Amino acid sequence: MGFTVRARFAPSPTGDLHIGNARTALFNWLFARHSGGRFILRIEDTDFERSKRSYEKSILEDLSWLGLDWDEGPDTGGDKGPYRQSERLELYKYHAGRLIEDGLAYRCYCTKERLEELKDKQTAAGAPPRYDGRCRDLAGAHPPAGVIPVVRFKVPVKTTTFYDGVHGLLKFDTATIGDFVIMGSDGVAAYNFAVVIDDALMEINHIIRGDDHISNTPRHILLFEALGFKTPLYSHLPLVLGEDRIPLSKRDSATALKRLRDSGYLAEAVVNSVARLGWSPGEDFMTLAELAAAFSLEKLSRSSSVFDKERLKYYNKTAIAGKDAQSLIRLLSLSAPGAGEDRLGEVVEAVKANAETLTGLKTLVAPFIGEPLPDEEALKVLGADGAGALLRELKDLVERAGPIDEASFSAIMDGVKEKTGAKGKKLFMPIRAALTGTTAGIELVNIFRLLGRERILKRLDRWV
């Protein structure tokens, strides 16, 4: 049987996915699909206080929305499951027991107070906090009464070396680590232990994750070796920064995928924007299949990238303009009573190139499928000196004109300009405000064409 790439995305259901999480998921998915491998979704939910099934549901919905399907996961199953850590607790206990039996881990009875005191002394002496190994040699001795132990891994003193797919060769002196906890006193596996057991038993052979996990990697490699498992290949991505140059987190609601979706951003625009965070496949708009075909670990950047909202807007505008009118109508659940489907499609087709978001598209469409309510800026324009006289001249010329087309529009505007002396914004703004209820939108000639002579006259009646 040939070698098959197995990559994974393993979020914690303690909040909504943000752009940084999405980048990790996307790069793992692209790598798996580029390699003809498998993409596994695992839910790391052993933080029982903060983990919620509602967040898990939201994560699955966000990934599906982006188009990132998974081959194995909590909802699809697979032969390496379960795919929730909360359902794998016995596996962690079993492998912790193996390490204890082999003399590679031990029970530690140190109290929290004793550990805090040790940490304070080390910090005061300018040394990095690390466990001093007091309980390493308690085998055969009587353990303290009333203390529920944790299980610590015996860290061998050595240099751990691994090749990182992004950063190249990395070396760590394990003497700085200290014996770390792999099972808590509550019987729950620590992150560094659970993730190794999961990756080993799920046969994950490539791990793409954030730079914040580099310091964990020596611990993971030591555990893989102690348990007799094959060590996967690692690639650590520099973190995604916000505009404030601070790494994005679940607290950054503005970059949560749910927030972006609700704000009218399309999944393909988010994918194209996120794909450029630490990778440069070119600036052309690309499908997921095209991104997967081009993906390469060797081309990932070693520098942090800043999430660029303007780039997202650019790709979103491109995505909206590239969609057919009927797709956009379905996305927005638009209807135009009495206008007919063809008429609605004509309106959407005419205005879509001006929209940055689906929300903006809905705003642009609104004046043509219903009677507009003028906004505050429009009312200000309509109340300005000369606006009423200008609109009266416009109404008179429209009444005398035939069907509205480009030629009749030009003649009408020339006539209004000649009779009122208005030009530029003083000419266009009152007309736009009266016909659409807003001072921004598509070109005036298209407003005339979409409204038609009768509706133009009806709307002007309100202001003259």
Contact assessment for residue 120 and residue 126, using Cβ atoms and an 8 Å cutoff: no
Q: Where are the beta strands (DSSP E) in 128-167?
A: 150-153, 159-164
Q: What is the dihedral of CA 284, 288, 290, 296, to 10 degrees?
A: 100
Catalytic residue (one of 93, 119, 250, 309): 250
The H-or-E segment that residue 130 falls in is: none
DSSP 137-150: G-TTSPPPTT-PPE
Q: Cis before residue 82, ω within 30 degrees of 0?
A: yes
Length of the chain in residues, anyone? 464
Who's near 429: CB < 8 A, 6+ residues apart? 381, 439
Phi then psi dihedrals of residue 241, to 5 deg: -105, 150
What tokens does 171 get?
């070396």
Q: Where are the beta strands (DSSP E) in 215-330?
A: 233-237, 240-241, 305-306
- CA distance to 41, 271, 272, per residue, from 26 (Å): 12, 8, 10
CA distance 261 to 264: 5
CA distance 140 to 137: 8
Contact assessment for residue 3 and residue 258, using Cβ atoms and an 8 Å cutoff: no
417 is catalytic: no
Residue numbers annotated as active site: 250
